[in-house]
């Protein structure tokens, strides 16, 4: 009975050693470390760990783990570059290690197999986005849009600064074709958009960039020094307006003039840049401006400037006994009138006097401290001061007249 027990124990130990040897042989017979190192649309690169004693490897590939076949792909290195694959597809790869160089089992000794390993190619390059354009603006953003592309993962919008500086400013999912991008106030910039498809490893495949779209934020408030009355045509009885400086990112400037009392529009520079004297006879006028950008034929305006003010009294003069009598028509919102005199039409004016809102004439007898002289031509300005709410504004322009005094 004791001998039988001892013999049974020996058999169990032998069986256990056999199992352990089989497990060890199985582990030793596996090619390991298989991984994909490069992704392209029609090819992949793979590598694996060196198998002890192997000097040759056969590469098997298939669309499922069970149909991997070798089509003549061999490598003496622990890596391979597999071509001729379909874009955006998955494959399974198995590696068989050999010792020797024959292609048949009798000429080469098979040492071990790897487990099936999945690899993938990148998707094909998507189409280029079409009809990329500027859609809208605010003071700090621009809105861009483009036509949708089927079967893409999304879109990237990037701003052009320089050839080596093109930051991505928006990453838009495939369900949308509109990007709202932050941009500096009162600025312009150029943008591009590209579609992308994301591969199984997370790598993005991009389309060619679209054509560029330039976009501007809505212009800021224009300064009163940047626009105004450029000329008063007394002979033609017209007032001309203009812009001295258009804001850098603006496409144009609109100037609108209205009467101070009644707020009746008398000029819009988008239609005309002049006002006839008859339209504003005896009236105070206020005008302001705003810059705009043109978005596909639609003007997007910035804020209005502050107002500027003027009135043009119809002044006349006559002389007698070395005295000049000046008359003018009253302005509806005038609080007073100031009369100036000079011997030069463009300079040297001296204030002669100030007259109340009910006045419409004065008699000039002196130029400075000296009496008027015969044989001289004098130039007179009549400048109204206009009432603006509780404040007053001196008219930006005035009426200029000249009067010759006879020697006799």
What CATH number is attached to the domain comprising 62?
2.60.40.10
Evaluate whether residue 127 is within a structural domain.
no
Of 291, 310, 329, at which residue does a domain stop?
310
In a domain, 116, yes or no: yes
Element (H, E) at 289: strand 285-295
Q: Are residues 36 and 110 in the same domain?
A: yes
Q: Is residue 126 part of a domain?
A: no
Indicate if 233 and 178 belong to the same structural domain.
no
Q: Are residues 324 and 394 in the same domain?
A: yes
396-to-91, 147, 231, 239, 383 alpha-carbon distances in Å: 81, 52, 11, 12, 9
Is residue 113, in this structure, part of any structural domain at all? Answer: yes
Q: Which residues form the domain of 85? A: 32-120
**Does residue 21 sit in the same domain as residue 41?**
no
**Among 86, 120, 154, where does a domain finish?**
120
Q: Is residue 19 part of a domain?
A: yes
SS3 165: strand
Count of the separate structural domains present in the chain: 5
Tell me: do 72 and 137 sit in the same domain. no
Query: Are 155 and 196 part of one and the same domain?
Result: yes
Task: Cite the DSSP H helix spans in 176-312.
Answer: none
Domain for residue 347, yes or no? yes
Do residues 198 and 161 both lie within one domain? yes
Burial class, 245, CB count within 10 angstroms (exposed 0-12 / middle 13-18 / buried 19+): exposed
Residue 408: both structure tokens together: 């006799």
Is residue 343 in a domain? yes
pLDDT in tens, the chain (408 residues): 344 444 434 443 344 333 333 333 333 479 999 999 999 999 999 999 999 999 999 999 999 999 998 878 889 999 999 999 999 999 999 999 988 866 554 456 889 999 999 999 999 999 999 999 999 999 999 999 999 999 999 999 999 999 889 999 999 999 999 999 999 999 999 999 999 999 989 999 999 989 999 999 999 999 999 999 999 888 788 999 999 989 889 999 999 999 999 999 999 999 999 999 999 999 999 999 999 999 999 999 999 999 999 999 989 999 999 999 999 999 999 999 999 999 999 999 999 999 999 999 999 999 999 999 999 999 999 999 999 999 999 999 888 899 999 987
Question: Do 232 and 209 share a structural domain?
Answer: no
Answer whether residue 10 is part of any domain: yes
Residues 343 and 272 in one domain: no
d(CA 333, CA 339): 17
Q: How many CB atoms lie within 10 A of CB 336?
A: 17
């Amino acid at each position: 009975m004791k001998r039988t027990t001892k013999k049974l124990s020996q058999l169990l130990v032998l069986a256990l050693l056999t199992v352990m040897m089989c497990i060890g042989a199985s582990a030793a017979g596996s090619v390991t470390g298989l991984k994909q190192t490069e992704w392209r649309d029609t090819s992949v690169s793979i590598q694996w760990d060196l198998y002890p004693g192997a000097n040759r490897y056969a590469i098997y590939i298939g669309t499922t783990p069970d149909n991997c076949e070798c089509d003549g792909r061999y490598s003496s290195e622990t890596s391979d570059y597999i071509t001729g694959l379909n874009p955006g597809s998955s494959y399974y790869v198995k590696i068989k290690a050999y010792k020797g160089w024959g292609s048949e089992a009798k000429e080469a000794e098979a040492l071990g197999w790897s487990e099936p390993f999945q690899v993938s190619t990148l998707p094909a390059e998507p189409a280029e986005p079409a009809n990329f354009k500027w859609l809208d603006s605010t003071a700090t953003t621009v809105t861009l849009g483009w036509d949708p592309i089927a079967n893409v993962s999304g879109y990237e919008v990037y701003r052009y600064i320089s050839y080596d500086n093109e930051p991505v400013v928006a990453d838009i999912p495939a369900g949308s074709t509109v990007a709202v991008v932050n941009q500096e106030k009162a600025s312009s910039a150029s943008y591009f958009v590209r579609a992308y498809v994301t591969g199984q490893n997370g790598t993005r495949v991009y389309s060619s960039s679209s054509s560029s779209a330039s976009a501007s934020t809505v212009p800021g408030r224009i300064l009163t020094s940047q626009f105004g009355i450029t000329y008063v045509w007394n002979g033609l009885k017209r007032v001309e307006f203009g812009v001295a400086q258009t804001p850098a990112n603006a496409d144009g400037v609109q100037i609108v003039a209205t009467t101070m009392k009644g707020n009746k529009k008398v000029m819009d520079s988008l239609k005309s840049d002049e006002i006839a004297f008859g339209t504003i006879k005896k009236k105070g006028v206020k005008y302001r401006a705003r810059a705009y950008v043109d978005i596909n034929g639609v003007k997007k305006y910035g804020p209005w400037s502050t107002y500027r003010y003027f009135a043009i009294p119809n002044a006349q003069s006559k002389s007698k006994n070395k005295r000049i009598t000046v008359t003018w028509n009253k302005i509806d919102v005038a609080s007073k009138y100031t009369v100036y005199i000079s011997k030069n039409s463009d300079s040297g004016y001296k204030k002669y006097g100030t007259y109340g809102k009910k006045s419409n004439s004065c008699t000039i007898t002196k130029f400075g401290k000296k009496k008027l002289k015969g044989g001289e031509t004098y130039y007179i300005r009549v400048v109204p001061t206009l009432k603006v709410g509780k404040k007053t504004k001196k008219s930006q322009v005035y009426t200029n007249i000249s009067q010759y005094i006879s020697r006799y």
